Structure 1
Amino acid sequence: MLRGYGKRCAGKASNFFLFSLIGLLVALSLGVYMWTNFNAIGSVSHQKQKVVIATNNEYAGSCAVMVAQEKGFFVNEGLVVSIKPVTSGKAAMAAILEKKADIGTVADIPVMFAGLSNAPISVIATIFAGERDHGIVGRRDKGIDTAASLKGKSIGVPLGTSAHFTLDAFLNRQKLLPDEVTKRTYKPEELANALAAGSVDAVAIWEPFLSAAMSKLGDNGVLFYGQDVYESIYNMVGMQNYISEHPETIKKIIRGLISGAKVCVENPAIAQEVVSKITKIEKETLKASWSSYRFDIVLDQGLILALEDEARWAIKNKLTDKVKVPNYLGYVYIDGLESISSSAVTIIH
């Protein structure tokens, strides 16, 4: 009896060992599988989101973008940002609409025209405002020494841009009708040379092309700023479907911009060094005009009012076939900035 019992115990022990070995192998295999897949999932979740931003990297108004890129604020938010250089907000808007950029820096005038053409874009934030970055440079040897003497002169301007609006508003302030001057359209980067060559009597443009045009003429130039008639409102804009499909990416972009803008405001010397390196504008030139710039990341009711006023101008001057001012609230994405800084949103909605 004891000998049989011993055999049965030995058989049970052998089976127990076999089952334990199988269980151990299964557990190890499952562990390896879970570890491999956890790391794969983790690596995907930690991949940085790629974003293409079209911006005028020759314009100080892009300070928040430049600093966020140079100082790693976008990277800190988990973004890999590629900058697509453009020379105007109009060109940035074109890049967005053609899906060559995800987001772009765009002044208010291209946003206004986008609304009139029902383009599916939205402003996610205003990143800059300035009153002395637009103006008109005239040639003294063409008889231009006062604003009123622009009457009858040829003026180079990129049509359909903020410079065009500034010119018309400036002429209106001087009691001059738009057709009392001859407008000739040029690309922004062509204006300084056109003026220096005498192809036009004056040019209307923004910085840094404004200073470049004045520099070309030297003592033969006269400069009229447009601060009394126009304030530049520089915005971050994207396609509405991109924004709705990437709400968290939009928040990351906004947070990066807020960090960049903080440097532009609180550490101007550092910001000016970054902007000067990228734009090639002399630091002393930037320093002289910096106090007139506002680098707040906001959505202000003033944007809506400006867009409506500009739309009336475009309709009146038959720059569009539309006859009704759009509801520009439909072209602003509020949720992103409001979720980060509700006090930065003053648009009535």
Structure 2
Amino acid sequence: MVRTALFLSFLLSSLVAQAAPLRIGVSETLLSLPLYVAEAEGFFQKRGVNVEFVNCVGGNRCMKNMLDGQTDLATATELPVVFNSFSRNDFAILTSFVSVSNDLKVVARAEAKINEPGKLRNKTLGYVKGSASQYVLDLVLVYNGIDPDTVKLKAITPETALTALATKEVDALCIWEPFASRIELELGTDVQLVPIPKLYTETFNLIAMQSVIRNKPQELERVVQALRDSTRFIQTHPEQAKALAAKRLKIPVLVVDKIFDDYRFRLSLNRSLPRTMEGQARWALREGHVNVNLPQPNYTGFFYPAFLKTVDPGAVSLQ
């Protein structure tokens, strides 16, 4: 009996190794920890699916890579989904695997003396176009009664964020982790975090092309199973997960430990997500970030919950 089980395990591993891998665009962020854990702990292999990570900086780039045919799946917040939904509908969210309301930070130069959000007025502010950075910065300004037209907005990239502050190109910027913590580590007392209210709970999602959903349903279900395994592992082995995150993101474990409890790692597709996306779509139209003549999409068609319903029925509550 044991010999048979070992043979079947070997056979499955061989078949997985021979299959063309599913290419997943993985954003280099703590939000991607369930994928890192699934790879490191062998959960993909255990579930019988061959995957290949294609690293990218920011969910907006991961999404673009997928839409350009470079990957089969992408990891991103819901905002890149919203931006792209105005021009195409050949992709869908399979599951969210983490939610957080404090991943985006506003980091300011100490010399600018921006110790509270109201002092962002009349400043030069950096943001990453097409990402949650852009959305959160706008929310912070409006919530604090600051007309976005009264500030100077400057598009940056995650890679140039630190330099933009160090060379005084911007007075402050909105950026996600781990870039915010890296900036703090590198620039020390030359920068400070601006305390901002928790106005937005972002989700990080696994997104697939509709063609992949049609052609590789078994593989996608197994990926979702592996993510369920990894989110449970994170919940039961947080210290091991923190150590892995620190290693993958090249930041000290102390930094990961400081922000780790902000993140809720679990699979879900709940009714608040399409509502959030509808609000983001209205914002994008109102602010002219997309063609104002385009109709607002119906986001019910941008979800494919079948795999999650099979893997974890209680995690789906879209209705």
Q: What TM-score does the superposition give when structure 2 sets the normalisation length? A: 0.91
Within 5 Å, give how 1:244-283 maps onto structure 2: 244-283=214-253
Give the gaps of 5 or more residues in structure 2.
Answer: 1-13
Q: Please, what is the CA RMSD of the aligned residues?
A: 1.9
Change (3 A) 1:107 1:185: same
Return the alpha-carbon distance in structure 1 between the equivalents of residues 116 and 34 of structure 2.
36
Alignment match, 2:289: 319
Corresponding residue to 1:329 among 300, 304, 307: 300
Q: Residue by residue, what CA displacement relative to the aligned partner does 1:306-340 show, whole Å, maximum 9, x if unpaired?
A: 10111111010011114432111101011111112
Structure 2 counterpart of 1:178, one-letter code: P
The residue that corresponds to 1:340 in the other structure is: 311
Q: What's 2:3 paired with?
A: none
CA deviation digits over 1:234-256, x for unaligned, max 9? Answer: 00001111112111111000001
CA deviation profile, 1:132-158 (whole Å, cap 9, x unmatched): 110211112123222111111111111
SS for the counterpart of 2:21 is strand
Partners in 2 of 1:142 and 1:220 — Cα distance? 10
Q: C-alpha displacement at 1:265, in angstroms?
A: 1.4
Letter paired with 1:344: A
Matches within 5 A, 1:84-233: 84-233=54-203
| Structure 1: gaps (5+ residues) | 1-42
Deviations 1:26-80 (A, max 9, x none): xxxxxxxxxxxxxxxxx769844511111113x1111110000111100111222
Tell me the SS of whatever aligns to 2:219. helix
1:74 lines up with 2:44 in the alignment? yes
| CA contact 2:16–2:48 (8 Å) conserved in 1 | no
Specify the code of the residue in structure 2 equivalent to 1:340.
Answer: V
Determine helix, strand or coil for the equivalent of 1:284. helix
Pick one of 280, 286, 292 that aligns with 2:262.
292
Q: 1:45 to 1:268 in 2, by over 3 A?
A: closer
**Closer, same or farther in 2 for the Cα pair 1:281/1:152, shift >3 Å?**
same
Shift of 1:285: 1.4
* 1:93-129 Cα shifts (integer Å, max 9, x gaps): 0111011111111111101112122241100000111
The structure whose Rg is larger is 1
The 1:46–1:272 alpha-carbon spacing in structure 2 relative to 1, beyond 3 Å, is: closer
Q: Residue 95 of structure 2: SS of its match in structure 1? A: strand
Structure 1 CA distance for aligned equivalents of residues 194 and 270 of structure 2: 28
Contact 1:155 1:182 in 2 (8 A): yes
- Which residue type is aligned with residue 243 of structure 1? I
| Number of aligned positions between the proteins | 307
Structure 1 moving runs of 4+ over 3 Å: 43-49
Farther off after superposition, 320-329 or 94-103 = 320-329
**Secondary structure, in 3 states, of the residue corresponding to 1:79?**
coil
Give the distance between the partners of 1:205 and 1:249, measured in 2 at CA. 34
SS at match of 1:320: coil
Aligned partners of 2:115 and 2:254: how far apart in 1? 27
> 2 CA distance for matches of 1:183 and 1:108?
23
Percent of pairs with identical residues: 27
Q: Give me the TM-score of the superposition, normalised by structure 1.
A: 0.84
| Secondary structure of residue in 1 paired with 2:194 | strand
Question: Does the CA-based 8 Å contact 1:132-1:226 persist in structure 2?
Answer: no
Give the Cα separation in 2 of the matches to 1:46 and 1:289. 36
Alpha-carbon shift at residue 225 of structure 1 (Å): 4.8
Q: Quote the offset at 1:215 in angstroms.
A: 2.9
Residue-by-residue CA offset, 1:255-314 (whole Å, 9 max, x unaligned): 011111111112101111111111112111111221111111111111111101111110
Amino acid at match of 2:313: S
